[in-house]
């Protein structure tokens, strides 16, 4: 009877100790441990995929971007020549009289004659603009007023170069010795095509220079990083001083328009290839 009781009490005690040992080592038990490996393994797999993708993208960018980060700056120039088709000049009348009123009256009369003469010889009214009307007193060495001078000038532009000389000659004959001609300049009214050609030459010149320098540095020229355009239009002109002999000239005043150079400079920054 006693042996049976002891045996019964030993078995439950052994089983309880076995279960307790497993609970102490891992409270989740064998099934809990198998569930714990799933999320961690998935995280490691995703992490490995992300690292591989970053490496692939970096490798791809490294192959597509050939620039080393270094740059070179050069200046290129291009020049073209064109024939002027526009002439500009300043023409006017100067009168002297004992009073300001009389001087202005005479000046007004002669300026009307001057304007009519210009209009009859190919000058368009919209291309005539008053540029200065001055009245001032004349004095002697003692400071005494001896009379008054009136000056009136027109800025004139014409595209009729063939008749420009005749217009100047007619103006001188219209107002006589009181005429004032302060200069003649020539220009090209529409420079867009010439500028485009000059810019193309300037860019080509810059690329040639950059290529030569890069070759000396054992590299090659890449894409353009920046361009700064510096337009510089040359002008041709002839200056005629005040000359009373214009009135006595026969025929038209000889006019030669010559040629005009248009120059463009560009500062170009190039990337250098690695």
Residue-level pLDDT at 57: 46
Low-confidence ranges of the chain (pLDDT < 70): 1-68, 231-251
Residue-level pLDDT at 52: 58
Q: For residue range 172-225, what is the model confidence (pLDDT) as tens digits? A: 999 999 999 988 999 998 999 999 999 999 999 999 999 999 999 899 999 999
Residue-level pLDDT at 138: 96
Query: Within the chain, what is the greatest distance between any pair of CA atoms?
Result: 165
Residue-level pLDDT at 263: 94
Pairing of strands 236-238, 179-187: antiparallel
Residue-level pLDDT at 248: 37
Residue-level pLDDT at 81: 94
Phi, psi at residue 190, to the nearest 5°?
A: -120, 105
Considering the chain, what is the average pLDDT of its residues? 79
Q: pTM higher than 0.75, yes or no?
A: no
Residues 6 or more apart whose CB falls under 8 angstroms from that of 164 comprise: 87, 122, 158, 255
**What's the CATH fold of domain 68-81+192-234+262-273?**
Translation Initiation Factor IF3 (3.30.110)
Half-sphere exposure of 247 (CA within 13 A, CB side): 12
Residue-level pLDDT at 146: 96
Best CATH choice for the domain 85-185+242-256 from the list 1.10.8.10, 1.10.1040.50, 3.30.70.2970, 3.40.50.20? 3.30.70.2970
């Amino acid at each position: 009877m006693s042996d049976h009781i002891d045996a019964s009490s030993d078995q439950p005690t052994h089983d309880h100790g076995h279960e307790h040992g497993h609970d102490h080592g891992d409270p989740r038990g064998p099934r809990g441990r198998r569930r714990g490996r799933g999320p961690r393994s998935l995280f490691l797999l995703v992490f490995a995929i992300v690292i591989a993708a970053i490496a692939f993208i970096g490798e791809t960018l490294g192959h597509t971007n050939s620039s080393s980060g270094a740059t070179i700056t050069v200046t290129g120039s291009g020049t073209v020549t064109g024939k002027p088709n526009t002439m500009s000049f300043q023409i006017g009348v100067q009168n002297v009289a004992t009073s300001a009123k009389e001087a202005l009256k005479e000046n007004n009369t002669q300026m009307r004659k001057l304007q009519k003469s210009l209009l009859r010889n190919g000058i368009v009214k919209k291309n005539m603009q008053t540029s200065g009307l001055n009245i001032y007193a004349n004095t002697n060495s003692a400071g005494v007023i001896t009379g008054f001078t009136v000056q009136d000038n027109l800025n004139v532009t014409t595209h009729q170069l063939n008749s420009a000389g005749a217009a100047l000659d007619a103006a001188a004959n219209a107002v006589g010795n009181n005429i004032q001609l302060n200069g003649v300049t020539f220009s090209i009214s529409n420079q867009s095509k010439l500028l485009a050609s000059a810019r193309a030459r300037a860019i080509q010149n810059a690329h040639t220079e950059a290529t030569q320098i890069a070759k000396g540095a054992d590299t090659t020229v890449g894409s353009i990083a920046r361009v700064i355009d510096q337009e510089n239009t040359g002008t041709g002109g002839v200056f005629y001083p005040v000359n009373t002999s214009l009135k006595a000239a026969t025929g038209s005043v000889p006019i030669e328009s010559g040629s005009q150079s248009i120059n463009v400079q560009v500062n170009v920054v190039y990337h250098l290839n690695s």
